[in-house]
Structure 1
Amino acid sequence: MSRPRPSQAAVEQRRQEILRHVAEHGETRIDVLAERFDVSLMTMHRDLDHLAGRHLLRKVRGRAVAFPALTMETATRFREGSNVDVKEALCAAVAERITPGATLLMDDSSTLFPLAEMVRGVRNLTVVTNSVGLAQRLGAAKELSVTLLGGRFHGEFNSCTGPDVVRALGRIHADLALMSATAVHGGRLFHPLQEYAEVKEAMLDSAGRAVLLADHSKFGKTATYAYGTAARYEEVVTDTGTPGAEADALRALGVTVTQVTAGEAPRS
């Protein structure tokens, strides 16, 4: 008797588990993956072709090979559920600075997702973002005006980049930009994808003030594309788990560093 055909949700869940396994081990033989996940070799090839087509791993001579961890971490589905309590504390530390009538720029960082709930009651607030997920979270609030920057859509990141986004930002002046970073090392900022680094730079150019929110997991890392230093931000809000040397490097750039602990008041 043949097995019942799995639902699309079950297939997607299996593919996520395959990706996590490959990411944890660096690389794995395809036949070993098929055995581990109890599927045929043909089905495993199909799953891996799907993941490779989304640029989440590579297939090389009978093996599945992981991309650098930072690239995978950039994908929304793999970062949205990490360090949620810390992200909530970071957002709470800046929420009170968002005033009625302001124009706010927010990038596609999942770090900012908890802020959507916190600003819904701010009247006449205009939010400009390249994040579809953030726009959806904000869209239900009648008090807010939400502008979604359209361009090249990246389904895995649920956000837009490209020249259209950069040009649109050039026509906007925001009171405040709230952003995060994929990697910070010695005060320098990095991103594994050039298009996203370019959007972050354009957001900084379009804002009167900018605050960087980054939890401890972002520090001490680098990625392919550098896009300046934290000196372009008036403040960096992080948590107490951030290494002291990294916090000192930020202060050496003249940046205010505010550190929070989940559930507690921030301290500078």
Structure 2
Amino acid sequence: MSQAAVEQRRQDVLRCVTEHGPLRIDDLAVRFGVSLMTMHRDLDDLAGRRLLRKERGRAVAFPALTRETATRFRTGTALAAKTALCAAVTGRITSGMTVLMDDSTTLYPLTDALARLEGLTVVTNSVGIARRLSPAPAVEVTLLGGRYHGEFDSCTGAEVARGLSRVHADLALMSATAVMEGRLFHPLREYADVKEAMLASADRSLLLADHTKFGKTATHAHGTVEAYEAVITDTGTPADQLAAVRAMGVAVETAVPAGGGATGAAAAAE
């Protein structure tokens, strides 16, 4: 079996434990049609990445808030959709621009394309994005320092806000943890604050949000999609959620993930 197939099974195991709660390891082995030894290897790998816990013969999920926000969970979620969203906006970014990027893992696939641009300046609160761009000699990266959150590999706080107040960016690229009928939400107030500050520092802003973000809310609202030039999403997003965005007068562009019936990212602005 290929490593890709093994990883897919492990992600399916993680999803199963997340959805159903603590499960016995031998029951998981039966459910996924593998030996007990193989299931232990899968769970050891997931536990080693701190994606779940093994305890007393069971696999146990982390609390919902941690799953919603921690970078280690978000990086591998809806990766094909995130890649398609990033491909859809690549053409809007040109050499010489100053671009703001928040700590959303949705933007991670974009870093390869940005690394090939000359004279680009990227300002971000994400250590993960800064790290991915660091090998690119022609890209200037400004990392907004402040209170570092290891779970999210990024910074928040007054220092980040002050840094943003001194920045004039051509474009802000951002995502949201939850989008409900055009309203945007995040579980943590300090991250909602960063997103609002980024909007204030950019001439134009784009919201990249895959289908898993829609139809949900979280504790802290941070405005609506009306603050953005367009919402970039994928073909799996519910029609009623897209209708709510369009009703606010905001353009919607849908990207087709690889394997989703089309090749590449097909953008349809409305």
- Indicate conservation of the 8 Å contact 2:187/2:219, yes or no: yes
The aligned counterpart of 2:136 is 141
Change (3 A) 1:241 1:221: same
How far apart, in 2, do the equivalents of 1:211 and 1:65 lie?
A: 33
Distance apart, 1:100 and its partner CA: 1.2
How far apart, in 1, do the equivalents of 2:15 and 2:150 lie?
A: 19
The aligned counterpart of 1:24 is 19
1:208 corresponds to which of 183, 194, 203: 203
2:161 corresponds to which of 157, 161, 166: 166
Distance apart, 1:122 and its partner CA: 1.3
Q: Deviations over 1:25-61 (max 9, x none)?
A: 3468xxx79xx999xxxxxxxxx9xx8xxxx99xxxx
The aligned counterpart of 1:5 is none
Alignment of 1:19-168 (within 5 A): 23-26=18-21, 66-68=62-64, 71-168=66-163
How far apart, in 1, do the equivalents of 2:13 and 2:212 lie?
A: 23
The aligned counterpart of 2:172 is 177
Q: Deviations over 1:129-155 (max 9, x none)?
A: 011110011111111000001111111
The aligned counterpart of 1:238 is 233
Percent identity reads 59
- Indicate conservation of the 8 Å contact 2:88/2:265, yes or no: no
Distance apart, 1:82 and its partner CA: 1.4
- For structure 2, the residue ranges without an aligned partner over 5 or more in a row are 1-10, 29-35, 38-46, 54-59, 258-263
How far apart, in 1, do the equivalents of 2:13 and 2:239 lie?
A: 36
How far apart, in 2, do the equivalents of 1:122 and 1:165 lie?
A: 26
Specify the code of the residue in structure 2 equivalent to 1:67: P
Specify the code of the residue in structure 1 equivalent to 2:221: A
- TM-score of the two chains, using structure 2 as the length reference: 0.77
- TM-score of the two chains, using structure 1 as the length reference: 0.78
* Aligned residue pairs, count: 231
How far apart, in 1, do the equivalents of 2:128 and 2:198 lie?
A: 18
The aligned counterpart of 1:252 is 247
Distance apart, 1:167 and its partner CA: 1.3
Specify the code of the residue in structure 2 equivalent to 1:171: R
Change (3 A) 1:153 1:20: farther
- Indicate conservation of the 8 Å contact 1:22/1:66, yes or no: no
How far apart, in 1, do the equivalents of 2:130 and 2:19 lie?
A: 32
SS at match of 2:123: strand
Change (3 A) 1:111 1:25: same
- For structure 1, the residue ranges without an aligned partner over 5 or more in a row are 1-15, 39-47, 58-63
Change (3 A) 1:251 1:152: same
Q: Deviations over 1:167-216 (max 9, x none)?
A: 11111111100001100000000001111111001100111100000000
